[in-house]
Structures are given as structure tokens and as C-alpha cells.
């Protein structure tokens, strides 16, 4: 009998097959290493390229800054034929000093990192058109130039990667930079319109106000010389509302008078009505605008009977007329750019101050006493000298002098007074240099839009034009804002006598990169 068989033992789970697996893992790892290395190298290359583009972009920006500085330095101490700025206290612009040749920052220390070219236009280049002929250094682009397009090409430090920035710089400021707005016939949806192809001699008519984007044919600006200018017309002359000074004459367009403004182009915005609008009268106040009828296509004519004149509503950004002039002592609210700080009803006892359509006069030198607020140094009693800077000018009394001999108010000097509590109305009271609430700090341009052009009380609250849709004031005139002290928030309602470009952090427009 044979011995029982034992099953053959299974092979041990040892190293059989391990070599191929090891080879496979090694190959995969090597492949991944190669792929990852390529990705890392590519990423490093991309990063270096991006860094070079950033460097080029910084150079292009530096070129724009240098170009702006050069333009703004094109001034002279004397009076030039055409100024680059109409704001009080600014130097006169000298167009012969404007740059013509391309500029770079090349020097003996190294190659150029940017190059800037200058192209001058009569109208904003974003709307098309061709530049003026190249100008000659020392002669400038001439009086027709209203905009300059800057093209700045920046290079990285290696001089290999370039970035180009283009931007537009408006040469004219003050009145010429007013955005303009519609002039609407009260109680209708009809606006003053210059037509699709406005030309000198073209008659103005009433047309349906645009529902959203306002067309260029309906944008008018009320300037400091009392002209009503069609914003889209070519500066520095442009087209202005004009009419022969006879009853029945129709409003038309004519080349704007510059050296001397003719009487046919001086208009007084006055006599506010309950709609928030007002009448428009000739400089002699003998003729007033009157719509031929509330129908689209009809003209606006002059009428000798101003008691039946039409009321027109000018939106805020249309301009404040002569009220912006520094010697007028009128204080224009930036949010309501056609309204000024005013003693309500010219009655000090009314216990409220309001914003009211800015008073105008043909002489450009006066306004109603209720709108003439003179800042006075509380210590010396002399007129305060306002200046730019973060600190502003402190310890200022805001004074208004009633001199109309009305039995309603005793004549004399009054001062702006703050209750020192947010939301409360300010008032005009008998002046005091020792009582709290009378001293104000006035800032002009601080370099930051949020803190510029403020009027703050001794509790650091800001003088604010507050609409009655926000805080109702029973008994106040309709469609007026009430002056109150509120926490400072940088809003337009808290800016006083700010230029029309106050919110622009940069003078450059339409900056693009390619």
C-alpha cells in the first residue's frame, strides 16, 4: 500500500513579478517628473512674461503722468489769449507752451522706458474725427484744440515687452467742462433741442425728452458768462443760444461770443416756480422765453410779457451761471449744481436756510444779499483766505448781511450757526465768536474727492443739502433742499463751490490699454 500523497505546497508570495511593477512605477514617476518640470518651466516663463508686462504697464502709466504734468505746466504769469482753466486762482494757460514733439524719459543713465505722443482734436476723439495737423514746438496747437489724445508706450526694463495706453486730456476746464443737461418745458416731456445737425443759424425747437441716454442735441450748459452753450459744439467757441432782442424772435444757435458776450446771448435764469424750474429772461430782463405751445416741433420765442413766460426746468448738471465766480460769494451745492445757499424767503426769522436757484445779474458781480455768504476769520475779522490742503481753513465765520431795508428783518450782519446735532437745521443768527456753533472749517481741494470742498461745524458735522424727500420740513418752499448738519460721508450734497470736475480723481478720460 502506498503512502498517502501530501499536496504540493503553494509557491511563496515572494518577489515574483516585482521587477516589472518597479520598472512601471519608475517609468510613470519619470514621465510625471518630466511633465511637471515642463509645467513649472512654462509657468516660470509665463510669470516672467507677466512680470515684464506689469513693468511695461507701469512705464506706460509713468508716461501718462509725465505728459499730464507737462500739459499742466504749460502756463504763464500773464494773461494768455485762451486759458486752460477759468477757475479763480489758477495760473493762465499758455497754448504756445503745450507739447508738440513726442517725449521720452531717455537719459544718459539708461534707455527710455516710455514714449508719449500728442494728437490734438477740436472735439472729443471718442466720438471720431481726425486730429489737427501736427503742431510746432513753441507755437502749440492753436486755439481750436480742445482735447489732446495721449498715446504712451511703456517698455519693461529689458526693453522687449511693450504696453500701450491711450487717454484723452480735456484742455478746457471750468464752463467748458460742464457735462450739460436738459432744459425741459415744465409740465411736459419736451426738451429744448438743437436738431440732428446743429449749425449756426439753426432754430431751436421743443422735442420729446430722451427716456434714458440724453442725446447731444439736448445737452446745454449754463456758463459763468450767462451763455447757454450746446455742449457738443466744437470749443473753444462753439454754439450758443441766441435771439434778436425783439418780442417774437425765436431762439436759435449762433457762434458763441468769447471776447465780448453779446446781449443776444446773455440769459438770466430767475423767478423759480413750484415745479423747481424757472423763467429765462434777457440780460435786460425785458424779454422772456415762451414756448409757442406744448407740442413737439414748435419753437421757443421771446415775449415782452414776462408775467406769462414759460417755466423751464434745468437739471442740476446744466450749470450755475455766474454764481461759480469767486468774487460772487455764492455757495453752489455740487449735487444741485444750479442752486445756492440761501436765506429762506429772505427772512432771517424763518429759521431755515435752503438751496435756491442761484441769483444772476448781467454785471456778473452781484446777487441777492440772501445768497452772499462771506467767510470771515473769527480772530481778525478779515475775509478768510481759503486754500487747498487736507487741513482746510478753520475758525471761519460764515456771514451774510441783510441790507434790503425790509421791515421783515432788521438790517445787519448774521452768521451761519449749527446746533451741533446731526440732522438738525442750520440757521442765520446774530454773530458770536465765543458761542459754540458759529465756527466752521472750510476745505477746498484736499487731493481726495471724498474729503474735498466740505464745510464742517465745530462738531465735525458737514453742511448738507437735504432734500425734503429725505427729511420733510413743513412750511418750507416746495422743491427746495434744507440745509442741515449731517455726518460727513463724501456725498455730493456736502460739497460746496466745487468745480464741475470735482469727482474726477484724474483729469484723464477714456483710458484704454492695448
pLDDT score at 396: 95
> Which CATH number does the domain housing residue 401 bear?
2.80.10.50
Domain boundary among 287, 319, 351: 319
Q: Please measure the distance between the N-terminal and C-terminal CA atoms of the chain and give it in whole angstroms.
A: 101
pLDDT score at 76: 57
- How are the residues of the chain apportioned to helix, strand and coil, as percentages rounded to the nearest 5? 20, 30, 55
Q: Is residue 25 part of a domain?
A: no
Q: Is residue 9 part of a domain?
A: no
Q: Are residues 160 and 194 in the same domain?
A: no
Per-residue burial over 435-466, b if 16 or more Cβ lie within 10 Å, else e, is: eebbbbbbbbbbeebeebbbbbbeeebbbbbb
d(CA 303, CA 284): 13
Domain boundary among 284, 319, 354: 319
Q: For residue 144, give its domain range.
A: 44-173+507-513
Angstrom distances, CA of residue 421 to CA of 208, 261, 458: 45, 46, 11
Q: Are residues 473 and 334 in the same domain?
A: yes
Domain boundary among 276, 301, 319: 319
Q: Is residue 39 part of a domain?
A: no
Q: Are residues 269 and 222 in the same domain?
A: yes
pLDDT score at 18: 57
Instruction: For the full predicted model, state whether its pTM sits above 0.85.
Output: no
Q: Are residues 394 and 487 in the same domain?
A: yes
pLDDT score at 173: 52
d(CA 342, CA 371): 5
Number of independent structural domains in the chain: 3
Across the chain, which has 514 residues, the per-10-residue mean pLDDT values are 49 54 51 43 42 77 88 59 34 78 79 89 75 91 84 81 85 62 91 94 95 83 88 77 96 88 88 65 89 96 92 78 79 86 84 84 71 93 89 94 72 92 94 94 88 94 88 76 94 88 65 82
pLDDT score at 86: 35
Amino acid at each position: 500500500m502506498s503512502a498517502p500523497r501530501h499536496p504540493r505546497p503553494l509557491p511563496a508570495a515572494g518577489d515574483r513579478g516585482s521587477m516589472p511593477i518597479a520598472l512601471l512605477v519608475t517609468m510613470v514617476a519619470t514621465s510625471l517628473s518630466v511633465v511637471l518640470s515642463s509645467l513649472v518651466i512654462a509657468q516660470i516663463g509665463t510669470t516672467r512674461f507677466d512680470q515684464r508686462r506689469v513693468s511695461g504697464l507701469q512705464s506706460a502709466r509713468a508716461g501718462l503722468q509725465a505728459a499730464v504734468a507737462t500739459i499742466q505746466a504749460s502756463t504763464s504769469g500773464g494773461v494768455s489769449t485762451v486759458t486752460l482753466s477759468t477757475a479763480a486762482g489758477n495760473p493762465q494757460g499758455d497754448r504756445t507752451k503745450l507739447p508738440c514733439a513726442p517725449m521720452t524719459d531717455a537719459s544718459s543713465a539708461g534707455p527710455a522706458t516710455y514714449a508719449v505722443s500728442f494728437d490734438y482734436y477740436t472735439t472729443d476723439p471718442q466720438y471720431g474725427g481726425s486730429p489737427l495737423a501736427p503742431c510746432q514746438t513753441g507755437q502749440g496747437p492753436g486755439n481750436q484744440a480742445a482735447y489732446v489724445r495721449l498715446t504712451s508706450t511703456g517698455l519693461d526694463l529689458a526693453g522687449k515687452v511693450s504696453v500701450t495706453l491711450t487717454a484723452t486730456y480735456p484742455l478746457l476746464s471750468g464752463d467748458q467742462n460742464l457735462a450739460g443737461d436738459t432744459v425741459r418745458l415744465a409740465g411736459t416731456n419736451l426738451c429744448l433741442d438743437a436738431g440732428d445737425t446743429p449749425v449756426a443759424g439753426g432754430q431751436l425747437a421743443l422735442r420729446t425728452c430722451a427716456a434714458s441716454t440724453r442725446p447731444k442735441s439736448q445737452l446745454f450748459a449754463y456758463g459763468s458768462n450767462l451763455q447757454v452753450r450746446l455742449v457738443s459744439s466744437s470749443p473753444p467757441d462753439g454754439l450758443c443760444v441766441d435771439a434778436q432782442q425783439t418780442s417774437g424772435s425765436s431762439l436759435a444757435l449762433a457762434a458763441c461770443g468769447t471776447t465780448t458776450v453779446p446781449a443776444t446771448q446773455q440769459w438770466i435764469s430767475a423767478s423759480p416756480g413750484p415745479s423747481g424750474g424757472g423763467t429765462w429772461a434777457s440780460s435786460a430782463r425785458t424779454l422772456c422765453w415762451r414756448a409757442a405751445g406744448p407740442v413737439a416741433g414748435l419753437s421757443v420765442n421771446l415775449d415782452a410779457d414776462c408775467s406769462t413766460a414759460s417755466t423751464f426746468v434745468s437739471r442740476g448738471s446744466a450749470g450755475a451761471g455766474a454764481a461759480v465766480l469767486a468774487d460772487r460769494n455764492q455757495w453752489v451745492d455740487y449735487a444741485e449744481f444750479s442752486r445756492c445757499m440761501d436765506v429762506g424767503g429772505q427772512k432771517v426769522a424763518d429759521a431755515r436756510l435752503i438751496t435756491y436757484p442761484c441769483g444772476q445779474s448781467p454785471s456778473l458781480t452781484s446777487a441777492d444779499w440772501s445768497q452772499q455768504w462771506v467767510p470771515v476769520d473769527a480772530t481778525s475779522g478779515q475775509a478768510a483766505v481759503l486754500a487747498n490742503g487736507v487741513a482746510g481753513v478753520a475758525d471761519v465765520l460764515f456771514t451774510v448781511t441783510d441790507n434790503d431795508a425790509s421791515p421783515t428783518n432788521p438790517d445787519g450782519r448774521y452768521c451761519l450757526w449749527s446746533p451741533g446735532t446731526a440732522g438738525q437745521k442750520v440757521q442765520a443768527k446774530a454773530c458770536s465768536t465765543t458761542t459754540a456753533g458759529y465756527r466752521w472749517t472750510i476745505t477746498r481741494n484736499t487731493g481726495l474727492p471724498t474729503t474735498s470742498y466740505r464745510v464742517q461745524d465745530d462738531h465735525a458735522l458737514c453742511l448738507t443739502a437735504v432734500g425734503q424727500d429725505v427729511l420733510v420740513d413743513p412750511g418750507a418752499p416746495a422743491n427746495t433742499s434744507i440745509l442741515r448738519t449731517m455726518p460727513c460721508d463724501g456725498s455730493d450734497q456736502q460739497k460746496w463751490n466745487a468745480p464741475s470736475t470735482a469727482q474726477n480723481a484724474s483729469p484723464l478720460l477714456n483710458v484704454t490699454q492695448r
